[in-house]
Amino acid sequence: MSTATTLNNLPVAVLGAGPVGLAAAAHLLERGLTPLVLEAGSAVAANLATYRQVRLFSPWQFNVDKAARRLLLQHGWNAPADDGLPTAGELVDQYLAPLASLPALAPHLKFGQRVIAITRAGFDKVKTKGREAAPFIVRTQTAEGPQEFLARAVIDATGTWSHPNPLGANGIAAIGESALGERIAYGMPDVAGLERSRYAGQRVLVVGAGHSAAGSLLALAQLAEQDPRTSIVWATRSSQLARVFGGGDADGLRARGQLGQRLKALRDSGALEMHEDFRIREIVESGGKLHVIGELKDGSASAIDGIDRIVCATGARPDLSITRELRVRHDPWLESTDLLAPLIDPNEHSCGSVRPHGHRELAHPESGYYAVGAKSYGRAPNFLMATGYEQVRSVVAALAGDMGAADDVQLELPETGVCNTRLAYDDAETDKSSGCCGGPGPRGEAQDQSSGCCGGPGPRGDAQDQSSGCCGGAKPAAGTGTLRLSELPARWFRTLALSGAHCCA
Ligand SMILES: Cc1cc2nc3c(=O)[nH]c(=O)nc-3n(C[C@H](O)[C@H](O)[C@H](O)COP(=O)(O)OP(=O)(O)OC[C@H]3O[C@@H](n4cnc5c(N)ncnc54)[C@H](O)[C@@H]3O)c2cc1C
């Protein structure tokens, strides 16, 4: 039997049974390929399950993958109304769990399998000759010890949520952070529900300026209404909160716009003790209370005293350790796929949408390995499931050899409605004249503020024709964020395919 035949007999390993991993499995089945889904948790969507209580801001129409929908409908699925807003728990119970239990998919799912390493059989990272014909080996940690699986390709949909960023403003844990870990929750604890007893009547510090922080602050405000002894403190590393306050009515997702507006109203009401421009360096405990020590923007020392509990909502980062033995190429600061980075860099983008992208932008030097879903964004925020669904459709088409379908990438995403705000990450400056769609040029380079990503510079690092922007006149209508690759000039399309581009749509 030839090597190619041997490889083709192997399954495609899908790492993680979150919404994007399960969508990948559905696409693989639809194309007659065999998935092997390896999930660390004991059930599907272990990450979403940690914030079951949170109402999502994207309605069902954006939350269900098309291949998954087709598979479910074959089995009499009662599809929820497109415009309904599920909680994370409802997404799991009404969509992901039924999907995973379908007879076509269930036999391909393995739980309690935490992937700890991926390599190629007979090859370390250095060895080249014959590499592409070698199967992947995926090693997992299970309750019974390590296991290994062979695969023809690997779709890594492990997300980022299980690797939260620390409280320390410099990207490393604050001094004392791990020792005082019992008093710190990462992510979105159910402060007004299941974990109410831990937070009621407490002085709670929320750290971060994203949607998770917003959700926790609003939930704590609800708790404080029920138990007025509860007090809420909010610390942010920046004083530029335009991103989290959002685009209000201009947001393509109404619920996301409202979340930001409710947070702004809460802040304006004075119900929060606010610490902007506060950079956390150290946490100490004395007299049963936590004292959070940091610096202000001008370098002067400052402290937030008398804290009982901390909710850390500073984002998350991908686990790059599992691909240590693969030839992967990441963006140096986002840790996303290299070609995707210019499209999603929060230093430059605020629209919340991303230009359509697929297998080409997601590819690594290691052929057959793709990071998709939230992990593909690395440390960049604003990932939406709909983006991941289109990613896996394209990647699976490429694995099936259908390059026409793989390259026909289409993505319709709602914008946040804050595209007119030029964001320098963590130091957003409101500058109506130079936004994501009229703003900064290539990453880290001198920029011509008059020429933005939708009317200005092209791919990062390339010589650029300032008269022809990456959107080349195909700038999306405000608030829709809809841009089809087929609408773009062929010249731009080629550039994108080869080197990625800098654009907000
Ligand atoms: C509070 C909150 C609200 C959000 N609201 C929205 C919204 O309204 N709309 C929207 O589109 N998006 C929303 N998002 C983003 C959403 O979570 C992601 O779009 C989605 O979960 C990404 O799916 P994923 O499959 O890529 O990753 P995840 O959902 O993170 O799934 C990853 C899976 O991989 C598993 N895993 C991790 N490591 C390993 C390993 N080493 N081995 C094996 N398995 C592993 C995990 O257990 C998990 O099951 C929200 C996120 C948060 C935090």
Mutate to test the pocket of ligand 1, among 162, 320, 412 (most ligand atoms within 8 A of CB): 162
Ligand 1 center–CA 72 separation, angstroms: 21
Domain termination site, one of 412, 444, 461:
412
**Residue 105 in domain:** yes
Ligand 1 center–CA 340 separation, angstroms: 18
Interval 259-267 mean pLDDT = 93
**Residue 477 in domain:** no
Q: Is the CB of 240 under 6 A from ligand 1?
A: no
**pLDDT tens figures, 355-404:** 889 999 999 999 999 999 999 999 998 899 999 999 999 999 999 999 99
Domain termination site, one of 245, 277, 312:
312
Q: Is the CB of 159 under 6 A from ligand 1?
A: yes
Q: Check whether residue 281 and residue 380 sit in a common domain.
A: no
**Residue 421 in domain:** no
**pLDDT tens figures, 441-457:** 445 543 333 333 333 33
Ligand 1 center–CA 282 separation, angstroms: 30
**Side chain identity, residue 480:** T
**Residue 434 in domain:** no
**Residue 488 in domain:** no
**pLDDT tens figures, 485-496:** 333 333 233 233
Q: Check whether residue 197 and residue 291 sit in a common domain.
A: yes
Q: Check whether residue 56 and residue 98 sit in a common domain.
A: yes
Q: Is the CB of 217 under 6 A from ligand 1?
A: no
**Residue 232 in domain:** yes
Mutate to test the pocket of ligand 1, among 154, 372, 385 (most ligand atoms within 8 A of CB): 385
**Residue 42 in domain:** yes
Ligand 1 center–CA 480 separation, angstroms: 24
Q: Is the CB of 45 under 6 A from ligand 1?
A: yes
Q: Check whether residue 10 and residue 95 sit in a common domain.
A: yes
DSSP letters spanning 12-73: EEEE--SHHHHHHHHHHHHTTPPEEEE-SSSSS-TTGGGGTTPBPSS-HHHHS-HHHHHHHH
Q: Check whether residue 116 and residue 197 sit in a common domain.
A: no
**Residue 257 in domain:** yes
Question: Among all chains, which residue has been given the structure tokens 């990438």?
Answer: 409
**pLDDT tens figures, 51-83:** 999 999 899 999 999 999 999 999 999 999 999
Q: Check whether residue 114 and residue 231 sit in a common domain.
A: no
**Which tokens is 128 given?**
């080249």
Ligand 1 center–CA 47 separation, angstroms: 6
Inter-residue contact 93 to 87 (CB < 8 Å): no
Q: Is the CB of 374 under 6 A from ligand 1?
A: yes
Total of domains in the chain: 2
Ligand 1 center–CA 319 separation, angstroms: 13
Q: What percent of the chain has pLDDT over 90?
A: 71
Q: Is the CB of 115 under 6 A from ligand 1?
A: yes
Q: Check whether residue 105 and residue 38 sit in a common domain.
A: yes
| Average pLDDT of every residue of the chain | 84
Q: Check whether residue 339 and residue 238 sit in a common domain.
A: no
**pLDDT tens figures, 178-226:** 999 999 999 999 999 999 999 999 999 999 999 999 999 999 999 999 9
Q: Check whether residue 257 and residue 324 sit in a common domain.
A: no
Domain termination site, one of 293, 312, 331:
312
Q: Check whether residue 242 and residue 98 sit in a common domain.
A: no
Q: Check whether residue 49 and residue 98 sit in a common domain.
A: yes
Check residues 242 and 493 and name the one with the higher pLDDT. 242
Position 498 pLDDT exceeds 50:
no
Residues of the domain holding 63: 3-162+317-412
Give the confidence band of 127 by pLDDT, cuts at 50, 70, 90. Answer: very high
| pLDDT value at residue 351 | 63
> For residue 179, what are the CA distances in angstroms to 176, 431, 463, 489?
5, 42, 50, 55
| pLDDT value at residue 255 | 83
> What is the rounded CA–CA span in Å between residue 211 and residue 384?
12
Give the confidence band of 38 by pLDDT, cuts at 50, 70, 90. Answer: very high
CATH number of the domain bearing residue 398: 3.50.50.60
Q: Check whether residue 9 and residue 157 sit in a common domain.
A: yes
